Amino acid sequence: MASGPTRTTPLNQRASSQQLRRLVEQAQQGDRDALEELYLQHFDRIYSYLHMSVGNRHDAEDLTTQVFVKMLESIGKFRWRSAPFSAWLFRIAHNLAMDHFRANKRWQPEEDVPEPDPDESTSAEHGALQAIGQKSMLELIEDLSPEQQQVLTLKFVFNFANAEAATILGKTEGAIKSLQHRALASLQKQLDRREKTL
């Protein structure tokens, strides 16, 4: 273990894909330094995601700890088949957040999300993204459903692709596209209403 103060590695200095694979392999063999580095590289993003998901620091801290305990317990089972390591960790975080909400009965996920029409999807997304401009995405999404908030957060705050967001949320890519379309269309309506009142 390194001596001195520890801090997370900035996003632009994260280990390359090949280095990350080596770290995961070493961690799977019980290398404590590799486990620590994986923790340091992913802590801030996991904590931020959980804080946005559950809405308070205390629960986010508890859940973040649980994510990394589960990582320690399950890293030997991780395989590079369908998702990157960060998506696997976010999936653990998502599952823990859903368990937290179920225990508190505060949130119910949307079911059976319909596919958007291709033309409609493009125009709604384009219009909403243009209108949002400099405004904070996090402020604007507060009135959306929790699932729509999660999709936009994963896509635009954490920069996950549709496939990775689908893996994290346990949905199909089509469902992610639909949730994103509906969320952006709703944001566009919010912005239109705001402009009319100004």
Report residue 144 CA to chain centroid gap: 16
Q: Percentage of the chain surpassing pLDDT 70?
A: 73
Are 8 and 40 spatial neighbours (Cβ–Cβ below 8 Å)?
yes
Compare 132 and 195 and report the one with higher pLDDT: 195
Q: What is the mean pLDDT of residues 166-191?
A: 87
Beta carbons within 8 Å of 190's beta carbon, 6+ residues apart: 140, 143
107-112 long-range contacts, CB within 8 A, separation 24+: 107/146, 109/146, 109/147, 110/145, 110/147, 110/148, 110/179
Q: How far apart are CA 89 and CA 75, in angstroms?
A: 10
Residue 42 neighbours by CB distance under 10 Å: 22
Q: What is the pTM of this model?
A: 0.64
Q: Percentage of the chain surpassing pLDDT 90?
A: 28
Give the lowest-confidence range in 69-78, 126-135, 166-175.
126-135
Residue 41 neighbours by CB distance under 10 Å: 22
Q: What is the mean pLDDT of residues 63-72?
A: 94
pLDDT above 70 for 163: yes
Give the pLDDT confidence of 149-161 residue by residue, as tens digits: 888 888 888 888 8
Instruction: Provide the token pair at 4.
Output: 């001195």
Mean pLDDT of the chain: 77
Give the pLDDT confidence of 86-130 residue by residue, as tens digits: 989 999 999 998 888 777 765 444 444 444 444 444 455 555 554
pLDDT band at 137 (very low <50, low <70, confident <90, very high): low
Structural domains in the chain, sorted by start? 11-104 (1.10.1740.10), 118-197 (1.10.10.10)
pLDDT at 152: 84
Q: How far apart are CA 93 and CA 110, in angstroms?
A: 19
Report residue 2 CA to chain centroid gap: 29
Q: How far apart are CA 170 and CA 175, in angstroms?
A: 10
